[in-house]
Structure 1
Amino acid sequence: MESIEKTKLGSQGLVVPLIGLGCMGMTKIAGMDIYGQSDEAESIATIHRSLELGGNFLDTADLYGPLLNERLVAKAIKGNREKYIIATKFGYEIDDKEQLTWQFNGKTAYVKKALERSLKNLGTDYIDLYYLHRLDPNTPIEETVEAMAQLVKAGKVGYIGLSEVSSATIRKAHQIHPLTAVQTEYSLFERGVEEDGILNTLTELGIGFIAYSPLGRGFISGEIKSPDDFPENDFRRSIPRFQGEQFYKNLDLLNEIQKIADKKSITASQLAIAWTIAKGAVPIPGTKRVKYVEQNIAATSVALSEEELNRLEAIIPLGTITGDRYDATTLATIDR
């Protein structure tokens, strides 16, 4: 197994590679393709190739499928569980018929129920990093985190984290049980965590930062040249950032990013990943193809000078309007 450089995630003891593998696109969610069609055999091969290259940090969630993604991960890691660092998430309520209710549930009883279900689906007796996927507006964060803390005490969870939460929520949660990581969308096209002071809060409290969608949901790869290039059943069609005039404005920005990548003889995706690492994040780009996991992992050895970082950020300065990252209904569910 080759080795990627490792980093401490937060200050609670978890050590991970500089890059993780987002598994969301390997299965549908409620019948909808995420980033086009997936193939189970190719997805499992991607997880195995990632491990060969030292990429043993996998990110999944019970939402994905629902439940199907964890089961796919279980197939991939079978017989090698101890070689992987597994992160999964709960919080989108899934009923006993394995259907999403599209409600959020952070109540104590549900936290325990969701955890037991994830352990079963993943074919393991412990989860390395367990996240609350979205804040339940009807349950105090203190209650949810206390329930998560009990899972740590029981030895079923190693470390805990939150996803898409405000600085105020992070502070409240961290007082109940130390957080190891907070996960939020972060890329050259999405820097809300900087604008909202969340990155500063994480640095102050010694909490790690996981950047999901560091490739702008695949946009930075440059393969999507028009909104019509998204597959018909692809959820990105619902995202304002990829619609109408805004799409083409973003494409112009991407062309400028591509010029810097070309000068370094790397892909725009590799440049974007190297940027997130330089900013102190652990990116978890999602892919279900071996060739892309190889490219993504190679990006961990790309060094960016101060001048290159400044040139990149001058293309899309903080505050640049790039379009909303979710539709209005979904955006309303994010704790800000």
Structure 2
Amino acid sequence: MVGSITPATIANKAIGPIGFGLMSLTRPWSPTEYPAAAKVMKAALEHGANLWNGGMFYGPPHANSLQLLKYYFDNYPEDAEKVVLSIKGAYNPRTHTPDGSPEGIRASVKEALKILGGRIKIDVFECARVDPKVPIETSVKALAELVEIGKIGGIGLSEVSASTIRRAHAVHPIAAVEIELSLFTPDVLTDGVAETCQELGIPLIAYSPVGRGWLTGQFRTPDDIPKEDFRRMLPRFQPEVFGQNLKLVEEIEGFAKRKGVTVAQIAIAWVRLQGAIPIPGSTKIERVIENCEDISLSEEDLVDIQNRLNNFPVLGGRYPKQVEARVK
């Protein structure tokens, strides 16, 4: 039986104030070989990033997050009790549609557990998106039943509004809410999501804390994005807005240089100070170590950063319009 995961448990078991996203290791256009990926994951754990976040659709069916986790814990079974595992599912990547029905949720959890084969518990299971055809109460009730019988430890929500969080939490305590949060995407700080999570005591898990790679400094022109990389489809990376968005990167680079740290470290530290647990991903051990380093920002630093955000607003949405309509 999996012990029930409460919001307090998630916050306490995440040893450091940072987690690790598995998506970067299973990207279809540039997958990382499992032995190398395992070393990156080991480095994350050794540096305090023990909240691991994966998805059943991160990569092809035969090589997604679960397959990678299976490989990792076959080689490091002793680490299973050290990791807090959050998995997203109940989503069809071929049609880009969620399935929040009780049947769909049960089938997704069953498949995830089958692949993991008892190597590690699923501490938090999230429906990757809210199914517009199914009331959130129905989906959460189905997940609550899986918690009750010990199939999963707790219930997470992904890409949800403040009102959806409240409706879900009224059915069963929510263990975590995963949402995009970065200097490029501070929306949840003003749309009620962060405020609601704070009020209800729900940990906020921040994916893409370095702005989908913008705040690593690796992109200077649109041609720097690999040809098969999905970011080529995202509005913020389009040629007509790329130059304007690069200006914000350059502003944060100047700030980071003055502090003697990297842009990514500034970005991650800023997210942490918003009360969230960032889950950056990486394919390189040295980047993982860099991301896990504890960087301090003063009140003056935060004001300075905010001024730069105000002066160089980000252009373009998070997703193409047809996808944006399915978020929240």
TM-score above 0.5: yes
Query: Which residue does the alignment assign to 1:56?
Result: 50
How far residue 319 of structure 1 moved from its aligned partner, in angstroms, is: 10
Q: Unaligned stretches of 5+ in structure 1?
A: 1-7, 95-99
Query: Which residue does the alignment assign to 2:254?
Result: 259
* AA partner of residue 69 (structure 2): V
Counterpart contact for 1:182–1:207, Cα < 8 Å: yes
How far residue 42 of structure 1 moved from its aligned partner, in angstroms, is: 1.8
Q: Unaligned stretches of 5+ in structure 2?
A: none
Counterpart contact for 2:20–2:279, Cα < 8 Å: yes
Query: Which residue does the alignment assign to 2:300?
Result: 307
CA distance in 1, matches of 2:154, 2:311: 32
CA distance in 2, matches of 1:206, 1:66: 35
Counterpart contact for 1:91–1:135, Cα < 8 Å: no
Percent pairwise identity: 38
How far residue 318 of structure 1 moved from its aligned partner, in angstroms, is: 10
CA distance in 1, matches of 2:19, 2:9: 18
Query: Which residue does the alignment assign to 1:5?
Result: none
User: Greater strand percent: which structure?
Assistant: 1
CA distance in 1, matches of 2:182, 2:6: 19
Please say if 1:122 is aligned against 2:121: no
CA distance in 2, matches of 1:89, 1:69: 10
* AA partner of residue 133 (structure 2): N
Counterpart contact for 1:91–1:136, Cα < 8 Å: no
Q: How does 1:282-293 map to 2 (within 5 A)?
A: 282-293=277-288
Query: Which residue does the alignment assign to 2:310?
Result: 317
How far residue 113 of structure 1 moved from its aligned partner, in angstroms, is: 1.1
Alignment TM-score, normalising by the size of structure 2: 0.91
Query: Which residue does the alignment assign to 1:274?
Result: 269
* AA partner of residue 74 (structure 1): K
CA displacement 1:283-326 (0-9 Å, x = unmatched): 0001121111111111xx21110000111111113993431111
CA displacement 1:194-231 (0-9 Å, x = unmatched): 23121111111111101000001111110111111111
CA distance in 2, matches of 1:321, 1:13: 32
User: Greater helix percent: which structure?
Assistant: 2
CA distance in 2, matches of 1:9, 1:142: 18
Question: SS at 2:52's partner residue?
Answer: strand
How far residue 21 of structure 1 moved from its aligned partner, in angstroms, is: 0.6
Cα pair distance change 1:282/1:13, threshold 3 Å: closer
Query: Which residue does the alignment assign to 1:104?
Result: 98
CA distance in 1, matches of 2:243, 2:6: 36
CA displacement 1:249-295 (0-9 Å, x = unmatched): 11111111111111111100001000001110100001121111111
CA displacement 1:3-36 (0-9 Å, x = unmatched): xxxxx983466521311110012113xxx42xx4
CA distance in 2, matches of 1:23, 1:13: 18
Please say if 1:163 is aligned against 2:158: yes
Q: How does 1:1-336 map to 2 (within 5 A)?
A: 10-11=7-8, 14-15=11-12, 16=14, 17-28=16-27, 32-33=28-29, 36-67=30-61, 68-78=64-74, 79-80=77-78, 81-93=80-92, 100-124=94-118, 126-298=121-293, 301-317=294-310, 320-335=313-328
* AA partner of residue 296 (structure 2): A
How far residue 183 of structure 1 moved from its aligned partner, in angstroms, is: 0.6
Question: SS at 2:154's partner residue?
Answer: strand
Alignment TM-score, normalising by the size of structure 1: 0.89
Counterpart contact for 2:215–2:264, Cα < 8 Å: yes
CA displacement 1:169-201 (0-9 Å, x = unmatched): 111100000112111111001011123121111
CA distance in 2, matches of 1:57, 1:310: 30
Question: SS at 2:49's partner residue?
Answer: coil
CA displacement 1:83-141 (0-9 Å, x = unmatched): 211110112137xxxxx343210111111111111112223363111112100000110
CA distance in 2, matches of 1:257, 1:321: 13
CA distance in 1, matches of 2:36, 2:298: 36
Question: SS at 1:158's partner residue?
Answer: coil
Question: SS at 1:210's partner residue?
Answer: strand
Question: SS at 2:215's partner residue?
Answer: helix
CA distance in 2, matches of 1:38, 1:12: 31
